[in-house]
């Protein structure tokens, strides 16, 4: 609803929307980095997770009360900072509730819920806005937000009981030196390659809209509104594919013990999807295939990235690792979208998506050649690092 609200109600252009989203994404990455050390203490983990979800819900819904663009910018930033702060705490809750050989399933289910919400939520909003209007629809976003905060609070308390006696309060440092010694650089190399090619889905929608407006000869075939509506429907297919792929990816990561393999599969699927958008077919069935490949790619990649960090780092550094992972994801994604956008504007869309495809190819290679070591967490284990089964 945000683009429509800014343009139709506050009369702001796409440039301001881009500035708001870019700043918010950057703040998300920084807040994830800060959220890692904060979540390291199990005694504050439940409060951090629930308050993060609550802050996102309240700030997002409050946008419906704004009368100026700067107010939207502030609330969007607050919402996305809350979103970043909560992420490491949420991931630690998942690892506390699941056995180490079931981390993939845990993260897969979480990603399934996120992507399923990205299908159901917009459809529900589309129905509500026709009856209540944009403002009231945005205000109602507080309802699922509050339910999410309650759910994560219950889960976090259960996870704390699973931990037994409270651990000693830990410091708030980033522990970068300890992370480096634990091998976090090797864990993050293929992740960074993947994220440097991970373009915002708004770019896919914009590319599809442009292609659907004209035939292969360049003659217009659809109005802008019709092309946009069709592109958004294709994007819904992207989210369905992401949700289903996340469940499968979690199971594959657990059954094989090779989360890097799962990440490599995600990057390979993106190679196909981005290839479609680079070539630029004008028929919607082929574009749907591109959306499905990209959706399946992100569905495979996101659980794999979390499992890599969860299994590759000792428990005392896991919170800091999740924070660092969030920073890498946010900053790399921001840079990839900016570069693809600049290449699109300055050269062509094909060159822009070709750039992203190149990074996905490097990610596939990185998943094959970068050696990592995972830590055993089986009962009676001394915590020593075990070789990655892929090696």
pLDDT value of position 170 = 52
* pLDDT tens digits along 340-364: 888 888 888 899 899 999 999 999 9
Segment 164-179 mean pLDDT: 62
Q: Contact 372/187 with Cβ under 8 angstroms?
A: yes
Q: What residue spans define the domains of the chain? A: 2-164+173-373
Lowest mean pLDDT among 154-158, 252-256, 291-295, 375-379: 375-379
Q: Contact 46/157 with Cβ under 8 angstroms?
A: yes
pLDDT value of position 379 = 37
pLDDT band at 375 (very low <50, low <70, confident <90, very high): low
pLDDT value of position 98 = 86
Q: Contact 268/301 with Cβ under 8 angstroms?
A: no
pLDDT value of position 217 = 58
pLDDT value of position 389 = 40
CATH number for the region 2-164+173-373 comes to 1.20.1250.20
Task: Provide the token pair at 338.
Answer: 């900016």
Residue 388 has pLDDT above 50, yes or no: no
Report the percentage of the chain scoring pLDDT > 90. Answer: 31
Segment 74-85 mean pLDDT: 91
CA dist., res. 225 & res. 305, Å (int): 37
Segment 151-168 mean pLDDT: 72
Residue 168 has pLDDT above 60, yes or no: no
Using alpha carbons only, what angle is made at residue 52 by residues 47 and 54, rounded to the nearest 5 degrees?
95
Residue 383 has pLDDT above 50, yes or no: no
Q: Under DSSP, is residue 202 helix (H, G, I), strand (E, B) or coil?
A: helix
Task: Provide the token pair at 313.
Answer: 């780092």
- Mention every residue, 6+ apart, whose C-beta is less than 8 A from residue 369: none
Q: Contact 321/36 with Cβ under 8 angstroms?
A: yes
* pLDDT tens digits along 251-281: 999 888 889 999 999 999 999 999 999 988 8
| Closest-CA residue to 190 (of 374, 362, 388) | 362
Name the pTM for this structure: 0.78
């Amino acid at each position: 609803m945000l683009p429509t609200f800014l343009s139709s109600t506050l009369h702001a252009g796409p440039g301001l929307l881009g500035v708001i989203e870019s700043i918010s994404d950057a703040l998300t990455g920084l807040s994830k980095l800060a959220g890692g050390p904060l979540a390291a203490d199990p005694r504050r983990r439940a409060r951090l997770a629930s308050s993060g979800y609550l802050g996102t819900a309240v700030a997002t819904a409050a946008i419906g009360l704004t009368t100026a663009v700067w107010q939207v910018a502030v609330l969007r930033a607050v919402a996305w900072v809350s979103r970043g702060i909560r992420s490491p705490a949420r991931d630690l809750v998942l690892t506390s509730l699941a056995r180490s050989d079931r981390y993939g399933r845990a993260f897969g289910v979480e990603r399934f819920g996120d992507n399923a919400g990205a299908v159901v939520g917009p459809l529900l909003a589309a129905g509500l806005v026709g009856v209540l209007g944009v403002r009231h629809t945005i205000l109602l976003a507080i309802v699922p937000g509050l339910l999410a905060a309650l759910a994560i609070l219950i889960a976090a308390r259960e996870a704390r009981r699973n931990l037994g006696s409270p651990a000693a309060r830990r410091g708030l440092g980033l522990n970068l030196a300890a992370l480096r010694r634990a091998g976090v650089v090797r864990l993050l190399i293929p992740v960074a390659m993947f994220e440097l090619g991970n373009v915002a889905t708004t770019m896919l929608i914009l590319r599809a809209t442009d292609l659907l407006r004209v035939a292969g000869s360049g003659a217009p075939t659809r109005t802008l509104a019709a092309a946009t509506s069709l592109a958004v429907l294709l994007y819904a297919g992207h989210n369905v594919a992401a949700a289903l792929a996340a469940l499968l990816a979690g199971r594959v990561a657990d059954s094989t013990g090779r989360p890097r393999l799962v990440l490599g599969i995600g990057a390979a699927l993106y190679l196909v999807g981005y290839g479609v958008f680079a070539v630029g077919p004008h028929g919607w069935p082929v574009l749907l295939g591109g959306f499905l490949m990209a959706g399946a790619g992100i569905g495979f990649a996101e659980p794999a990235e979390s499992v890599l960090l969860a299994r590759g780092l000792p428990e005392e550094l896991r919170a800091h690792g999740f924070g660092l992972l969030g920073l890498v994801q946010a900053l790399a994604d921001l840079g990839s979208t900016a570069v693809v956008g600049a290449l699109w504007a300055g050269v062509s869309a094909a060159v822009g998506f070709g750039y992203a495809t190149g990074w996905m190819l490097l990610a596939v290679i990185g998943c094959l050649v970068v050696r990592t070591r995972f830590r055993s967490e089986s009962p009676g284990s001394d915590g020593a690092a075990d070789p990655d089964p892929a090696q």
